[in-house]
Amino acid sequence: MKLQRHGTVVSVALTAALALAACGSDGGETDATVGAGAAQAINCATGTLNAQGSSAQKNAMDEWRKNYQQQCSGSTINYEPSGSGAGVQAFISGTADFAGSDTALTSAQQPQANGRCGGNPAVNLPMVVGPIAVAYNLSGVDNLQLAPATLARIFSGDIKQWDDDAIKADNPGASLPSSQIQTVHRSDESGTTGNFTSYLTAAAGSAWTFGSGQAWKAPGGTGSKGSDGVAQSVSSTDSSIGYMELSFAENAGLTMARIRNGAGQFQELTPEAASRTIEGAQITGTGNDVTLSIDYATTTQGAYPIVLVTYEIVCSKGGPADRTALIKGFLDYTASGDGQGLLNGLGYAPLPGNVQSRVQSSVNNIS
């Protein structure tokens, strides 16, 4: 039976022409109004920004940088996908104007980041929703469904064969082979692993005993570097299963499992389903900080529960005065309806409206 591909996303193109006012050469902002029928405005500024951090958001950041620079002459946005930890340290040391990170600043990092901002708060602004796919390579099985505890037992090595009773219970009527399960995990430390294990910790109960963290701790399985490495390993290995960001599963043509959410639904991975989980997240940040607490056991109907959020970490005040206008202009664009609308076609999901409006308000308050 031919494998069926789940979670296909439809590219969202910018259909309105951008009628832009000329950007000034003095580093100040000018409004560039989006073409007929759109209400969004792009705030152009000149100068150069250097940012780095999360590789999970690289594809989104590349598209945003390209679009902003095309519409705002005299602006240059550089982004190095050095990893979340390196990005945060670069921000703290002052070599990055903002950092991308798969997690918000820790309690140990926050005072250091505030120090970089002249004693003013550094804030965490969620910008990219990255759904994490559970992709598999199992001939003849097109619609695999997995409950959190079953998924945890598979990746902990407790469930070893595809026709295990627990998998059968999740897939009544399916014809499952007796082949050995080959699990694939990240060999390098990653925010993807951190969020995947946070999900298992929160949703799988006693079936997962290895906690959460960016380094994989469970025994057995095969380690591959990067989400692209995991996707390639699953693609080339019969009876395998692994976790990776949605875009890598799509690019490899892999089949994705439906995951049971807290409402009892086996939910297909779509950008809309991932956004529903973030819609129910609690904003735990104060003031202009928009740190989120994700409910991985969400009972929201139609929510896909395994997601990560990448943050842009930036000074709320006290940043580089000559680059503040450009930081605000660029981040306002990334958080806008136009900027978020591009994410569906890149293997991400847009911020839900309630979070998006809070982020834009925080960006507008940067000074």
| DSSP, residue by residue, 118-157 | TTSPEEEEEEEEEEEEEEEE-TT--S-EE-HHHHHHHHHT
Report the distance separating Cα 299 and Cα 318, nearest Å: 41
Report the distance separating Cα 82 and Cα 353, nearest Å: 29
User: What pLDDT is recorded for position 83?
Assistant: 84
Report the distance separating Cα 234 and Cα 215, nearest Å: 19
For the chain, give every domain's residue range: 30-128+312-364, 131-274
User: What pLDDT is recorded for position 345?
Assistant: 87
This prediction has a pTM of 0.79
> What CATH number matches the domain at 131-274, 3.40.630.30, 3.40.190.10, 1.20.1630.10, 3.30.1330.10?
3.40.190.10
User: What pLDDT is recorded for position 19?
Assistant: 34
User: What pLDDT is recorded for position 89?
Assistant: 95
Residues with Cβ < 8 Å from 367, sequence gap 6 or more? 316, 317, 324
Pair type for strands 307-315 and 98-101: antiparallel
Q: What angle do CA 23, 28, 32 make, to 5 degrees?
A: 40
Helix (H) / strand (E) element for 68: namely: helix 58-71
Q: What angle do CA 191, 61, 255 make, to 5 degrees?
A: 55
What is the chain's pLDDT, residue by residue, as a tens digit (367 residues)?
A: 333 333 333 333 333 333 333 333 334 444 433 333 344 679 999 999 999 998 889 989 999 999 999 999 999 999 998 888 889 999 999 999 999 998 899 999 999 999 999 999 999 999 999 999 999 999 999 999 999 999 999 999 999 999 999 999 999 999 999 999 999 999 988 888 989 999 999 999 999 999 998 899 999 999 998 888 999 999 999 999 999 999 889 989 999 999 999 999 999 999 999 989 998 899 999 999 999 999 999 999 999 999 999 999 999 999 999 999 999 999 999 999 999 999 988 989 999 898 999 999 999 999 9
CATH fold of 30-128+312-364, please? D-Maltodextrin-Binding Protein; domain 2 (3.40.190)
User: What pLDDT is recorded for position 40?
Assistant: 64
| DSSP, residue by residue, 19-49 | --PPPPSSS--EEEEB-TT---EEEE--EEE
Q: Say whether 131-274 and 30-128+312-364 share the same fold.
A: yes
CB burial of 132-142 (b: ≥16 within 10 Å; e: otherwise) equals bbbbbbbeebe
